[in-house]
Amino acid sequence: MKMKEKEVKVSPLKNFVAGGVGGACLLLAGHPLDTIKVRLQTQPKPSGTQCLVYTGAYDCFRKTVSKEGVLGLYKGMGAPLMGVAPMMAISFFGFALGKQLQQTDPGKPLTSTQLFVSGCLAGIFTTVIVAPGERIKCLLQVQSSRGGTKYSGPLDCALQLYKEQGIRSVYKGTLLTLIRDVPSTGLYFLAYENLKINLTPEGQSVSQLSTPRILLAGGVAGILNWTIALPPDVLKSNFQTAADRKYSGLADVLKTLLREEGPKALYKGSNAVFLRAFPANAACFLGFEVALKGLNILAPSW
């Protein structure tokens, strides 16, 4: 028998703030791996007697830190921070709201279905900012390869889309984002909450779970998120960047990919993604839990 939990009401507001802290931690842990990935991907091909600048991930890490210091690993983190921290704040807010709406008695734990549904709600909430973010990112990425400069940056792009074709245009691709993010976010939070309970030793309270166990639960949740989000993500990227009328619909993208490249096409590039997902999400949930505890002490009545 697990110890009976103290009666705690879920506070979406506190979860919002703690989620923002979690998002910042996610990036602090994940960004160095992203920097290394990009540096490896973009290093010039050796010609003649030249050697590769970096022989591998560890070599790149070592050389970056010795030449530029630890801060070298954190170059370019400002832009993603502006997106990730608010996104995680909204995500944890949505999850808490879902729990609050379904919680009839604060002493009674929610069922797995209720947790999954709350996580799905989090996925719907984040789509409000993730969908336009993806639309704008793709347009900017395609624009630079064509050489034109229709949009001077993300904000300009959002404003032009809105002025020309209204809000519908800003939110083009929302369905694809929902397909990718709703079930995966549901599983993400369900896995985290269930792992926390399962990792709690007999006779102890889930709220006193040790740091390594929080890290483990968060890391595994992150891997599971990507495991089910990656196939729709591959479909989405192919669909959004394909020439007009190349595909008749999503099902067509799926059929074409499977026919041309087989099932492994759906997990393209997954090594790097999984390598980053574990530490990033471990740090995210740890940051979230620590911030939430702090808020419960500082502002018990919120």
Ligand X SMILES: *[C@@H]1O[C@H](CO)[C@@H](O)[C@H](O)[C@H]1NC(C)=O
Interface residue list for ligand X (CB under 6 A): 180, 184, 222, 225-226, 229, 233, 281
Q: How far is the CB of 108 from ligand X (least distance, A)?
A: 27
Nearer to ligand X, 26 or 295 (CB): 26
User: Please, what is the minimum distance in Å from the beta carbon of residue 275 to ligand X?
Assistant: 13
**Residue 302 neighbours by CB under 8 Å, 6+ apart:** 11, 13, 14, 295
Distance of alpha carbon 24 from alpha carbon 6, whole angstroms? 29
Amino acid at 121: L
Name which of 229 and 254 has its Cβ closer to ligand X: 229
Residue corresponding to tokens 């989620």: 19
Of 88 and 97, the one with the shorter C-beta distance to ligand X is: 88
Q: Smallest gap, in angstroms, from Cβ of residue 233 to ligand X?
A: 4
Among 194, 218, 211, smallest CA distance to 284 is for 218
DSSP H stretches of helix in the chain: 12-42, 57-68, 78-102, 112-146, 154-165, 167-170, 174-199, 211-241, 250-261, 270-298
Three-class secondary structure assignment of 243-254: CCCCCCCHHHHH
In terms of CB distance, is 227 or 256 closer to ligand X?
A: 227
Smaller CB separation from ligand X, 160 or 227: 227
Report, in Å, the least distance between residue 99 CB and ligand X.
17
- What is the rounded distance in angstroms from the CA atom of residue 107 to the CA atom of residue 251? 45
Collect all residues with Cβ–Cβ distance below 8 Å to 139 and sequence separation of at least 6.
151, 157, 161
Residue 171: CB minimum distance to ligand X, A: 17
- Contact at 8 Å (CB) between 64 and 55? no
CA 302/CA 300 separation, integer angstroms: 6
Q: How far is the CB of 120 from ligand X (least distance, A)?
A: 13
> Which residue's CB is nearer to ligand X, number 125 or number 226?
226
